[in-house]
Structure 1
């Protein structure tokens, strides 16, 4: 079982993270819909940032670093709170899932 994106079914793991990255607009829309999230411009800003980090570093930032990086991109917002408003089910995980990226691994085993 998996997500159907552009007519193709892509497998995901037991936490619904894609097994291979799919960084398309359609992928984000399909996964966000499955998560019950309607994407806004702020969602897209976070998604694109995570995808860029994944492309450059091969992984995504943990929550603390994500907050710091988003503040550098768009200062003046309480990003700690805003990320939870945008991605209420653990932002550093839910945003990565919606971005179409594989499961993040980092400190604490997440």
Structure 2
């Protein structure tokens, strides 16, 4: 499996996560479509949050820390809201859709 973005084939691991991060908007739309996700402004807010966390920390947060971080810009967000956006698992699926490598352990730090 791989993703083709702007004519370039991007390498992925066995679970479909990019091996190297890609911060283009096009990669988000390609991966989201492959995951069956129709992007909304809330998806983009979470994707941008995950990308910022990866840039700052070198990895993405686990679900608990993700929810805490998302509450800073989306105060009414709860577990259900994040699972509605990323039904396979918010911490892992949001990282995948954001074009980031697979999270560490059980979904990050």
TM bucket, shorter chain: over 0.9
| TM-score using structure 2 length | 0.94
**Structure 1, unaligned stretches of length 5 or more?**
none
Uncovered stretches (5+) of structure 2, i.e. residues with no partner: none
Structure number with higher helix proportion: 1
TM-score for both structures, normalised by structure 1: 0.93
Name the CA distance, whole Å, in 1 between partners of 2:32 and 2:90: 13
The CA deviation at 1:108 is 8.0
Deviation at 1:107, TM superposition (A): 4.8
Shift of 1:73: 1.7
**Considering only aligned residues, what root-mean-square deviation do their CA atoms show, in Å?**
1.7
TM-fit CA distance, 1:23: 0.9
Report 1:16-95 matches (<5 A): 16-75=16-75, 77-95=76-94
Cα separation, 2, equivalents of 1:45 and 1:92: 14
Over 3 Å counting, the alpha-carbon distance change for 1:63 and 1:38 in structure 2 is same
> What is the aligned length?
109
